[in-house]
Homo-oligomer: A and B are copies of this chain.
């Protein structure tokens, strides 16, 4: 729940939110999405919301968190949500004199939004509740130095976890045993709770992009997809390697080289200012020119930060532009039903106009012993 970020960093973020609020023509913003609350205030409790107006910012939370928030966010006005949220918001609308209150309509239930709207209509008929989505998410896409530091720690954790994994998995171990041993290693070596369950998918299961580990035993010579995330101070990381126990057939080598070549092509091509959809296309073009055409069945990647899936979106329909200090995954994969699949994923940052991989685990020697 604590944060080593200085209040000035939060002030800067809040100031950017206010700029966005003006362009959206709202004079208040009710922030209810937890990662957005954490980004703006450092508050990481499970219950609360933040109300930003042009002149102040208030964190509303319950009795479990209020004392802690007052200690850890002393620069923040903290109010107890003793009443329903609608009442608290209504009082703030009064005291600040808001005309048009924005809310995160993708992150508030219909029931809650309606309760709020009804309350405002009764108490402040001149005020209006308006959807104002994505304001904080847009800011979060570009990371500051503090965030890049936390992301470096989170990516170092998954690199180390992969080293542990390739040093400890053996034929006969089940996918579930391997996945748990990796989770356990992460939790005992500095990671917070994992952003997603560890994936270990072997043999035919490797052909499923979102396989869940099962009782299948790992076998020599089959692809084993290991997809791992960690958290450090709330920031996530995401890394996938595909390894082969003992040996690798020529067919698997060809498959592996194709995925690696698609990923390398993207990493070398990336520049600040390119379209995310074009990055996706670079990888897709490499794969389409091979016999694996059509087998790259998901998007190229996603932003990584306080959430393990956030903006920018890297797929063929994305309208995002990739900029310096954005952190995202580059993860092409080829999936051949029953034969198996290969995915290679790194978490990278755009810096000095080129892509720098934060995850650095070796990908040139997929055969492990």
Residues of A within 8 A of B (CB): 1, 63-64, 103, 105-114, 131, 133, 180, 183-184, 187-188, 193, 197, 208-210, 212, 297
One of B105, B193, B197 near A110 (C-beta < 8 A):
B105
CB neighbours (8 Å) of A212 from chain B are 1
In this complex, the member of A63, A111, A113, A184 whose beta carbon has the largest number of chain B beta carbons within 10 angstroms is: A111
A–B complex contacts, Cβ < 8 Å, 14 sampled: A1-B212, A64-B208, A103-B110, A105-B111, A105-B114, A106-B109, A106-B112, A109-B110, A110-B114, A110-B131, A111-B131, A183-B187, A184-B187, A193-B197
A106 to B: closest C-beta gap in Å = 4
The reply to whether A187 and B180 contact each other, CB–CB distance below 8 Å, is yes
In this complex, the member of A110, A183, A210 whose beta carbon has the largest number of chain B beta carbons within 10 angstroms is: A110
Q: Specify how many copies of this chain sit in the oligomer.
A: 2
CB neighbours (8 Å) of A131 from chain B are 110-111, 114
A109 to B1, CA, bound (A): 26
One of B64, B107, B188, B193 near A109 (C-beta < 8 A):
B107
A241 to B: closest C-beta gap in Å = 21
CB neighbours (8 Å) of A187 from chain B are 180, 183-184
Beta-carbon nearest neighbor of A187 in chain B: B180
A72 to B: closest C-beta gap in Å = 12
The reply to whether B110 and A63 contact each other, CB–CB distance below 8 Å, is no
A357 to B: closest C-beta gap in Å = 26
